[in-house]
Amino acid sequence: MVSIPKGKFLMGSNDIERFKEDKEEPVQSIEVPSFMIEKYSVTNDDFSHFVEDTGYKTDAEKYNWSFVFHLNLSQTLKNKSKKVKNVEWWYAVEKACWFKPEGPGSNIKHRGNHPVVHISWNDAIAYCQWSGKRLPSEVEWEYAARGGLVQKKYPWGDELNPGGEYVCNIWQGKFPYINTKEDGYLNTAPVDSFPPNNFGIYNLSGNVWEWCLNNFNDKFDNSKKVKYSAYTPSFKTIRGGSFLCHSSYCNRYRVSARTANTIDTSSANMGFRCALSVDK
């Protein structure tokens, strides 16, 4: 983990690329107490240790399905699976889960240092409780992602490909059918891929969406208490975008970008990283 010093930062964006419906605006000055956050997203190896120790079953395993992107499926699996209405590039695939990320026949044998995926908010909370950590609040996540830069579009600045270099794992080509893989990856990348930001944190833009602690409507709430009821599922914030984000469809790999999902939802591009309060 890396230690993030207390400070004040401008959260949100008035950038022309912002999504008003996502409530990226207004920009507010927020004070943040010091805390710690993991340098990397939680990996398949990390999650394997958790499961071996506890026998935990993820929501995807309990429901016996999760969402998988169409390019990762054989025609046979497509024929057996149901397309998601209005986003036909996603399929609800039986038996897809964290250790079978592309469904039956897939595995994570050579992806130990890739971010674990098909993780719901419930699953992330369970892992955090086991590890003695917690999820970051959305305030903490954005503060850490900015790395001390003021109102920049990305964790490294305003230019997507500085010096012509690819510095994050997002979609290149024509979404959702052609990915030219110019950044080197069709799916997830190892968690230590690409340069870290000024705080020494990796892959805060692209690769996988990361769960935050708070409800979507509580953007500026920096409380460390878990707001959760098993009987009234709420929308929790996810941040950072994923390897499927593209400027033409989901331009949410910007630092201020945000969206949400329900606490029991999982997909092939959703993971998390942990944080820790600093006792005074």
Predicted model pTM? 0.95
- 77 contacts: CB under 8 Å, gap ≥ 6: 68, 91, 93, 103, 104
For 139, the domain range is 2-277
Tell me 141's DSSP state. H
Residue 235 and residue 241 in contact, taking contact as beta carbons nearer than 8 Å = no
Burial string for 27-59 (b: 16+ CB within 10 Å, else e) reads eeebebeebbbbebbbbbebbeebbeeeeeebb
Structure tokens at 106: 């897939």
Stretch 66-88: mean pLDDT = 95
The CATH number of residue 144's host domain is 3.90.1580.10
pLDDT in tens, 153-188: 999 999 999 999 999 999 999 999 999 999 999 999
Quick one: what percent of the chain has pLDDT higher than 90? 91
Q: What angle do CA 141, 175, 193 make, to 5 degrees?
A: 45
| Parallel/antiparallel/unpaired status of strands 87-94 and 209-215 | unpaired
Supply the pLDDT for residue 232.
45
Q: How many domains does the chain have?
A: 1
Supply the pLDDT for residue 227.
58
Cα–chain-centroid distance for residue 136?
Answer: 12
Q: Which H or E run includes 117?
A: none
Q: What is the mean pLDDT of the chain?
A: 95
Stretch 51-67: mean pLDDT = 98
Supply the pLDDT for residue 83.
95
